[in-house]
Amino acid sequence: MKFQTHPQRQWRIIQNLGSQGGGFNGGIIKVQDRASGKIYIEKRAKPSDISHGLIHREVAALKQVGSYDYITDIVDHHISPHRASIYLEYCNMGSLTDFIDRKADPRSTGVNGHLIWQWFIEIAGALTYCHSGPTPEDPASVHAWNTIIHRDVKPANILLTRVEHGPQAGDVVAMLADFGCSISKDFVQNMEIPADSQSMLTEQFAPPEAPRYTGRSDVWQLGACMVCLCWRTQMWRRADMRFPAGRQASAELHDVVRWSMERDFEKRPGAPELLARVRSAYDVVKSRAGGVGGQNVRGRRPAPLPAPPRRYGGSREFDDYDYGFENDYGGVCVRALKKSPNWTLASEGLDDMPFPRLQYPLDEVSANEQRKSSCTTDTQI
Is there a domain that residue 293 lies in?
no
Q: Residue 316: which pLDDT band, with cuts at 50, 70 and 90?
A: very low
Distance CA 340, CA 317 (A): 20
pLDDT at res. 366: 34
Kindly state whether residues 335 and 272 are assigned to the same domain.
no
> Is the confidence at residue 198, as pLDDT, over 80?
no
Kindly state whether residues 123 and 81 are assigned to the same domain.
no
Please tell me the least confidently modeled range out of 13-27, 44-58, 147-161, 360-374: 360-374
In this structure, what is the dihedral angle of CA atoms 322, 324, 329, 331, given to the nearest 10 degrees?
A: 130
Q: Which of 33, 68, 89 is the last residue of a domain?
A: 89
pLDDT at res. 32: 98
Q: Which of 74, 89, 104 is the last residue of a domain?
A: 89
Please tell me the least confidently modeled range out of 82-86, 233-237, 365-369: 365-369
Kindly state whether residues 210 and 357 are assigned to the same domain.
no
pLDDT at res. 201: 59
**Average pLDDT rounded to a whole number, residues 227-250:** 91
Kindly state whether residues 56 and 100 are assigned to the same domain.
no
> Is the confidence at residue 297, as pLDDT, over 80?
no
Is there a domain that residue 330 lies in?
yes
Q: 82: domain range?
A: 11-89
**Pick from 217, 261, 206: which is nearest to 239 by CA?**
261
pLDDT at res. 135: 96
Kindly state whether residues 240 and 268 are assigned to the same domain.
yes
Percent of the chain surpassing pLDDT 70? 71
Please tell me the least confidently modeled range out of 51-65, 135-149, 261-275, 339-353: 339-353
> Is the confidence at residue 347, as pLDDT, over 50?
no
Which of 22-36, 148-162, 202-216 is modeled with the greatest confidence? 148-162
Whether residue 370 contacts residue 338, with contact meaning beta carbons closer than 8 Å, is answered with yes
Kindly state whether residues 42 and 80 are assigned to the same domain.
yes
Q: How far is CA 206 from the centre of its chain?
A: 18
pLDDT at res. 269: 97
Q: Where are the alpha helices (DSSP H) in 175-313?
A: 185-189, 215-231, 251-260, 271-288
Is there a domain that residue 298 lies in?
no
3-state secondary structure of 27: strand
> Is the confidence at residue 334, as pLDDT, over 80?
no
Whether residue 312 contacts residue 345, with contact meaning beta carbons closer than 8 Å, is answered with yes
> Is the confidence at residue 376, as pLDDT, over 50?
no
> Is the confidence at residue 134, as pLDDT, over 90?
yes
pLDDT at res. 189: 74
Q: Residue 177: which pLDDT band, with cuts at 50, 70 and 90?
A: very high
Kindly state whether residues 105 and 132 are assigned to the same domain.
yes
Kindly state whether residues 231 and 333 are assigned to the same domain.
no
**Average pLDDT rounded to a whole number, residues 87-109:** 91
> Under the phi-then-psi rule, with left for phi > 0, alpha for psi from -120 to 50, and beta for the rest, what region is 262?
beta
Query: How many domains is the chain partitioned into structurally?
Result: 3
Whether residue 121 contacts residue 279, with contact meaning beta carbons closer than 8 Å, is answered with yes
Q: Which of 54, 89, 124 is the last residue of a domain?
A: 89
CATH of the domain at 84: 3.30.200.20
pLDDT at res. 192: 54
Is there a domain that residue 235 lies in?
yes
Is there a domain that residue 42 lies in?
yes
Kindly state whether residues 149 and 275 are assigned to the same domain.
yes
Average pLDDT over the chain, rounded to an integer: 77
Count of C-beta atoms within a 10 Å radius of residue 255: 15
> Is the confidence at residue 315, as pLDDT, over 80?
no
Percent of the chain surpassing pLDDT 90? 56
Q: Residue 22: which pLDDT band, with cuts at 50, 70 and 90?
A: low
> Is the confidence at residue 42, as pLDDT, over 90?
yes
CA dist list (Å): 369 to 335, 362, 381 = 8, 11, 22
Q: At what angle do helices 215-231 and 96-104 cross, to 10 degrees?
A: 30
Is there a domain that residue 305 lies in?
no
Is there a domain that residue 321 lies in?
yes
Kindly state whether residues 242 and 365 are assigned to the same domain.
no
What is the chain's length? Answer: 381
Kindly state whether residues 101 and 167 are assigned to the same domain.
yes
CATH of the domain at 274: 1.10.510.10
> Is the confidence at residue 328, as pLDDT, over 50?
no
> Is the confidence at residue 341, as pLDDT, over 90?
no
pLDDT at res. 47: 92
13 beta partners = 31
**Average pLDDT rounded to a whole number, residues 36-52:** 94
Whether residue 334 contacts residue 113, with contact meaning beta carbons closer than 8 Å, is answered with no
pLDDT at res. 1: 84
Q: Residue 106: which pLDDT band, with cuts at 50, 70 and 90?
A: confident
**Average pLDDT rounded to a whole number, residues 141-162:** 96
> Is the confidence at residue 98, as pLDDT, over 70?
yes
Is there a domain that residue 310 lies in?
no
> Is the confidence at residue 193, as pLDDT, over 60?
no
Kindly state whether residues 188 and 241 are assigned to the same domain.
yes
**Average pLDDT rounded to a whole number, residues 278-293:** 81
